[in-house]
């Protein structure tokens, strides 16, 4: 089943990062608001809105609203935090994740996405953007029970071409960070 089929089926509906993708384990990703619809073209469909906690650049978590929107061949996740909107775009086949730059008005590939189950947190590019999303992470644990058994941390790394080039778990992620 493709990511788009999983998302459309409602299997992960209500989860913050419905599209954040981990090969073999974490399929996690991303964000955005009406301000950012200009960042993607095509017909839009809001899938869900979630009130949760987000943090930027390692700062303490603040209240935020995440809106998941189908936009053409992508799913956008709009994170509204203290008047700022950060948007993550998830594309599949092949899986790619991008962050919208308000400054350059263009998409930039993420370098990594990761989840820590003990804190119910999904983060992008280290701690540049982190979101508390227990619903999504619990669905990952349930849908990937064999792969995720006794795991706390899972991460995907994206190569220069924007595609996943490494997936790691727990202590193995120290190797990927080097």
Distances (CA, A) of 87 to 25, 122, 129, 144, 169: 23, 14, 10, 27, 26
pTM over 0.95: no
Instruction: Please report the pLDDT score of residue 136 as a whole number.
Output: 81
Instruction: Please report the pLDDT score of residue 31 as a whole number.
Output: 27
Q: Give the structural domain span for 14.
A: 3-177
Token code pair at residue 5: 């089929």
pLDDT band at 20, cuts 50/70/90?
A: very low
Instruction: Report yes or no: 125 and 116 within 8 Å, Cβ to Cβ.
Output: no
Pairwise CA distance, residues 170 & 161, whole Å? 25
| pLDDT tens profile 106-131 | 999 999 999 999 999 999 999 999 99
Token code pair at residue 115: 């989840």
Pairwise CA distance, residues 169 & 178, whole Å? 15
Residue 86 has pLDDT above 60, yes or no: yes
| pLDDT tens profile 139-175 | 888 888 898 889 999 999 999 888 999 999 999 888 7
Q: What is the mean pLDDT of residues 25-39?
A: 32
Instruction: Report yes or no: 21 and 90 within 8 Å, Cβ to Cβ.
Output: yes
Q: Which of 39-53, 73-87, 116-130 has the lowest mean pLDDT?
A: 39-53
DSSP 8-state secondary structure symbol assigned to residue 24: T
Token code pair at residue 20: 């954040």
Instruction: Please report the pLDDT score of residue 36 as a whole number.
Output: 33
Residue 177 has pLDDT above 70, yes or no: no
Pairwise CA distance, residues 120 & 124, whole Å? 14
Spell out the residues 6+ positions from residue 175 whose beta carbon is closer than 8 angstroms to its own.
168
Token code pair at residue 147: 């792969």
User: Into how many domains does the chain fold?
Assistant: 1
For tokens 């996690």, what's the residue? 28
């Amino acid at each position: 089943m493709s990511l788009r089929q999983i998302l459309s089926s409602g299997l992960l509906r209500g989860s913050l990062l419905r599209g954040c993708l981990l090969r073999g384990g974490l399929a996690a990703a991303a964000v955005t608001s009406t301000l950012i619809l200009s960042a993607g073209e095509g017909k839009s469909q809001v899938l869900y809105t979630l009130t949760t906690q987000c943090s930027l650049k390692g700062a303490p978590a603040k209240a935020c609203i995440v809106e998941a929107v189908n936009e053409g061949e992508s799913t956008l996740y709009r994170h509204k935090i203290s008047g700022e909107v950060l948007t993550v775009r998830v594309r599949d086949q092949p899986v790619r994740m991008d962050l919208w730059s308000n400054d350059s008005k263009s998409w930039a590939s993420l370098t990594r996405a990761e989840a820590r189950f003990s804190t119910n947190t999904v983060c992008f590019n280290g701690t540049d953007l982190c979101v508390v999303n227990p619903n999504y992470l619990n669905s990952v644990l349930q849908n990937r029970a064999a792969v995720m058994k006794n795991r706390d941390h899972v991460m995907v790394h994206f190569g220069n071409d924007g595609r996943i080039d490494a997936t790691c778990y727990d202590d193995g992620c120290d190797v990927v960070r080097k």
